[in-house]
Amino acid sequence: MSFRKDFLWGAATASFQIEGAWNEDGKSPSIWDVFCEEPGRIEDGSDGKIACDHYHHYKEDVKLMAELGLKAYRFSIAWPRVIPDGCGAVNEKGLEFYSNLVDELLKYNITPFVTLYHWDLPYVLQSKGGWLNPEISDWFEEYTRAVVAKFGDRVKNYITFNEPSVFLGCGHISASHAPGFKYGTRELLLAGHNVHVAHGKAVRAIRELAPDAKVGITLATMPRIPNGDMDAATAYDIYFSCHKPYFIWSDSYWADPIVFGKYPEDLVNECKDIFPKVTDEDMKLISQKIDFIGENIYQGRYEDGYNRPRGTPHTEIGWDTYDRALEWGVKHFTKRFGLPIYITENGISCHDWESLDGKVHDPNRIDFLHRYLRGLKAAAEDGCDVRGYFQWSFMDNFEWAKGYNPRFGMVFCDYNTLKRIPKDSAYWYKEVIETNGENL
């Protein structure tokens, strides 16, 4: 057995990274709009005001997705486009854009996967405390209800949060991402709990408004890969350990409360004096049944921790490569959580440019994807319930604090002319899709 016959092959994007139209049709600023205004925050001094201008080019982009054979498309909704004040009045023009995008995808038989939160919090809510304000879970539920009420009849797959470890870790520990703060452990525990409760309220809303929909959460994860003298069981134990001060980066911190209804015991014991008050009702809400877990995997770690072997291959953005990262990420998550899994992001940044022949040649990306997908295939053949794979990204885009220099796309975007050029890897990926991975 290899990939299941209904395996979903797709690609992913995020609203702030591709849409542009930053203040059109009633959209308010997000924390990323404001973050980009601060000198020195973005490496190349850029912003997301235009990005790939997907807001105005979505029809040609979806047509290109269809030409490249994509079966699914994961995209995110911009909260400040839908509810500019963060709560209260719904901006129908903002919702209409996403409704039209959904219709366009369905016209080409491309399955939409909606991510409700991919980091672009309305700035007005940040001014009210952001994720430290317990009211934010109610605001997020209100926003979720507006989205699902609009196209819950057509969208049957939802992801509540994308990489909560990253938007809290990079945004509230290292300050390298929006909103650019540095929280202590007490504040992080409160913010993390508020995210968990917001997830629970969103799941409840989706179940109510679209009872036939599937819902999950996406985690950023760096799988521990058995190697040398370290066996799989030990790698697993290290992988899911959870202690302060690094608990925000622990997958068990995010998934255990959702799947098992409790926070990791080691962390609770270590932080008992500063852990936020957690009620039984909170945990019941947080641990409602989900249908899948999404894993975003770019790198991995060998069991010896943070020691980087000399000469480790690395990408344009400086991330190390690990051929078996997808394989072990799926195997470890299957063993611990027993839920269906989607690889919701995986890809590589390369030094891509338009060649003299008018094409974009990216052999390194093809090799990277081939290696990682062979690992994913091995996990599927080992019996793991992996349902789909979304390459990051459909096209080059704004790579957060790195600006526009890293290019992760299977489609090249000329940011000056907005011309789209499918790279060699896009046509290679089309063949993977056509053979359902049998050519790997």
Query: What does the pLDDT look like over 88-115, one tens digit per residue?
Result: 999 999 999 999 999 999 999 999 999 9
Q: Please report how many Cα atoms fall inside a 13 Å half-sphere around the Cα of residue 420, on the Cβ side.
A: 24
pLDDT at res. 103:
98
φ and ψ at residue 341, rounded to 5 degrees: -125, 140
From CA 41, how far away is CA 400, in angstroms rounded? 10
Compute CA distances 135 → 82, 142, 328, whole Å: 18, 11, 38
Confidence of residue 1 (pLDDT cuts 50, 70, 90): low
Confidence of residue 129 (pLDDT cuts 50, 70, 90): very high
Q: Average pLDDT in the 38-56 region? A: 98
Closest CA to 83 of 117, 48, 34: 117
Helix/strand/coil (H, E, C) string of the chain?
A: CCCCCCCEEEEECCHHHHCCCCCCCCCCCEHHHHHHHCCCCCCCCCCCCCCCCHHHHHHHHHHHHHHCCCCEEEEECCHHHHCCCCCCCCCHHHHHHHHHHHHHHHHCCCEEEEEEECCCCEHHHHCCCHHHCCCHHHHHHHHHHHHHHHHCCCCCEEEEEECHHHHHHHHHCCCCCCCCCCCCHHHHHHHHHHHHHHHHHHHHHHHHHCCCCEEEEEEECCCEECECCECHHHHHHHHCCCCCCCHHHCHHHHHHHHHHCCCCHHHHHHCCCCCCCCCHHHHHHHCCCCCEEEEECCCCEECCCCCCCCCCCECCCCCECCCCHHHHHHHHHHHHHCCCEEEEECCCCECCCCCCCCCCCCHHHHHHHHHHHHHHHHHHHCCCCEEEEEEECCECCCCHHHCCCCECCCEEECCCCCCEEECHHHHHHHHHHHCCCCCC
The domain at 8-434 falls in which architecture?
Answer: Alpha-Beta Barrel (3.20)
Q: Average pLDDT in the 389-408 region? A: 98
The reply to whether 208 belongs to the active site is no
Q: Kindly tell me if the per-residue pLDDT of 15 is higher than 70.
A: yes
Least confident range from 183-197, 307-321, 415-429: namely 307-321
pLDDT at res. 307:
61
Pair 131, 408: CB distance under 8 Å: no
Q: Average pLDDT in the 204-209 region? A: 98
Tally Cβ neighbours within 10 Å of residue 40: 6
Query: What does the pLDDT look like over 137-161, one tens digit per residue?
Result: 999 999 999 999 999 999 999 999 9
Least confident range from 303-312, 331-340, 343-352: namely 303-312
Confidence of residue 311 (pLDDT cuts 50, 70, 90): confident
pLDDT at res. 304:
60
From CA 113, how far away is CA 218, in angstroms rounded? 12
Q: Kindly tell me if the per-residue pLDDT of 136 is higher than 80.
A: yes
Q: Kindly tell me if the per-residue pLDDT of 281 is higher than 80.
A: yes
pLDDT at res. 207:
98
pLDDT at res. 227:
83
Whether residue 162 is annotated as binding a ligand: the answer is yes
Confidence of residue 230 (pLDDT cuts 50, 70, 90): confident
In the chain, % of residues over pLDDT 70 = 98
The reply to whether 345 belongs to the active site is yes
pLDDT at res. 228:
73
Considering the candidates 19, 295, 303, 345, report the single residue annotated as catalytic: 345
Rounded to a whole number of angstroms, the distance between the first and last alpha carbons of the chain is 14
Rg of the chain over all Cα atoms, to the nearest angstrom? 20
Q: Kindly tell me if the per-residue pLDDT of 305 is higher than 60.
A: no
Q: Kindly tell me if the per-residue pLDDT of 188 is higher than 90.
A: yes
Whether residue 299 is annotated as binding a ligand: the answer is no
Considering the candidates 104, 141, 163, 327, report the single residue annotated as catalytic: 163
Q: Is 279 exposed, middle or buried (0-12, 13-18, 19+ CB in 10 A)?
A: exposed
Mean pLDDT of the residues in the chain = 96
Whether residue 135 is annotated as binding a ligand: the answer is no
Query: What does the pLDDT look like over 26-43, one tens digit per residue?
Result: 999 999 999 999 999 999
Pair 383, 331: CB distance under 8 Å: no
Token pair for 41: 């925050």
Q: Kindly tell me if the per-residue pLDDT of 308 is higher than 80.
A: no
pLDDT at res. 345:
98
Pair 199, 258: CB distance under 8 Å: yes
Whether residue 428 is annotated as binding a ligand: the answer is no
pLDDT at res. 2:
87
Domain ranges of the chain: 8-434
Q: Average pLDDT in the 39-55 region? A: 98
Whether residue 400 is annotated as binding a ligand: the answer is yes
pLDDT at res. 243:
97
